[in-house]
Each structure stands twice: as structure tokens, then as C-alpha cells.
Chains A and B, each alone.
Chain A
């Protein structure tokens, strides 16, 4: 059974044409993989569909802009996957 990270990495590889082997749990989507905000919308769309959730991008952006969070918390892939797992769990609760 594939993990959340495996699915997310597949989505990123396919959406952004990035070699799968370059996508690591420690990769930062923006700083390391150079995914821009528009491409990230395509990734968010695919993640929303694949997991049946709605990534709260507006809230995350606001938190980063307000200095209440760092981009690492949401855009380092292992952290992103944790957030996804939390959203899935909240959905099932």
C-alpha cells in the first residue's frame, strides 16, 4: 500500500515533470523543487482529488505572511504529507 508521500511524490513528478528520484521527503517544494505558486495550484488540485480533502492554502499563506508559520511547515514534503494525513483524519472523525 502506497504511503501519502508516495502518492504526493507521484503527483508532483507527473504535474511538474520532475524526475521521481529527485523528490524526497526532505525536499522543499518551492526552494528545492522550484515549484512556483501556479504549478502548486495544479498539485493542490490533484492532492485534493486524490485524498478527498481541501488543502487550506489560503490559511497557510496567511500564516506565513503574518509570520505565524514558516514555509517549511507546509512545503517541505514530509510536513505537507503530515498536514494531508491530519486533514484525512479530520474528515473521517
Chain B
């Protein structure tokens, strides 16, 4: 997890387009200034960052399903539940699922587990917006390669 860059996914371990599901690993860094404030003496992964892990994992899947024709911008988070805590060094197993691909939007569901226990889950809404620049889209391939996401297979 590159927390300082807000790039949460370390690597994808499974991308099943037919089943519309992707699984990724996000390892909470052992050290980060985030933990100096959240909380002093009790470093705890913030719940919003757990949601971001789910949003990015599912967002990559939305991108693949829509052929990388636009940027899936997180537009809604519903029924988010933080069921247990995550701490520095924890290896988070994130699963994102696309339940509906509409015109210009997508609906997903995601969850995180760690050491066999449920950490959190939520329903996610994405708007598919035009890429703000060609550079951003071009930069996705390198990023995808770094996190083991087979992006070029799905690009239209």
C-alpha cells in the first residue's frame, strides 16, 4: 500500500471478468505519519482508508469491464460497515464485485477480510467520467503492471 500516494492496492491475485469479481491484496504499512495521529500510541487503519481499498479494487474491475473508456469516479458509498479493526502490517484481502454496469455508471459491492475475519464491506457507486487527460490514461498501464492488473487485455 502506497499510503502517501493514496494507491492502496499492492497486487491483484485474481481478476475474473466473467464472474465480475476481482481480488487484491492491500498491506497496511508498518509505519506511516497517518498512524502518528490515528491514534497516538494506538495505530489503527482509518475506516475511510479501508473504504478506499475497496473502492480502488472494485474501480479497477469497473475499468476493465468498461474497456478503460473512462475513469470510474467513486460517487457513492452505502451500507459501509467496519466490522473489525486493521492495524499496521495487516495483509488485507479485498474482494470487489460489479453487480451492475449501467450507462455511464456502475454499482459494486466489496469486502475486506484479514486473518479469516471480516473487516468491512460496502456497496459502491461509480460514475464513469471521461479521462481528464490522455496522460492519465496512458499512465494507467504502468500502474496496472505494478499491481498485476491485466489492463491491456481489456482496453478498447
**Which of the four size classes fits the interface of chain A?**
10 to 19
B127 part of interface (Cβ distance < 8 Å)? yes
**Number of cross-chain contacts by CB at 8 Å:** 34
B102 and A55: CB pair below 8 A? Answer: yes
B76 and A54: CB pair below 8 A? Answer: no
Interface size on B, residues (CB 8 A): 10
B75 and A38: CB pair below 8 A? Answer: yes
B133 part of interface (Cβ distance < 8 Å)? no
- Quick one: closest B residue to A58, CB to CB? B104
B33 part of interface (Cβ distance < 8 Å)? no
- Quick one: closest A residue to B125, CB to CB? A41
A58 and B100: CB pair below 8 A? Answer: no
Is the contact region of chain B dominated by helix, strand, or loop, or is it mixed?
strand
A41 and B101 CA atoms in complex are apart in Å by: 11
A43 and B114 CA atoms in complex are apart in Å by: 34
Is the contact region of chain A dominated by helix, strand, or loop, or is it mixed?
helix
Contact with B along A27-67 (1 / 0, CB 8 A): 00000000000100110110011000011111101000000
- Quick one: closest B residue to A55, CB to CB? B103
Q: Which residues of B contact A41 (CB under 8 A)?
A: 75-76, 102, 105, 125, 127
B100 and A49: CB pair below 8 A? Answer: yes
Closest chain-A Cβ to B14's Cβ sits at a distance in Å of 26
Contacts A44-B102, A45-B100 known; 5 new A-B pairs at CB < 8 A: A38-B75, A48-B100, A49-B100, A57-B102, A57-B103
Nearest 8 Cβ contacts at the A-B interface: A58-B104, A57-B103, A58-B103, A41-B105, A56-B103, A57-B104, A45-B107, A54-B103
Interface of B toward A, CB cutoff 8 Å = 75-76, 100, 102-105, 107, 125, 127
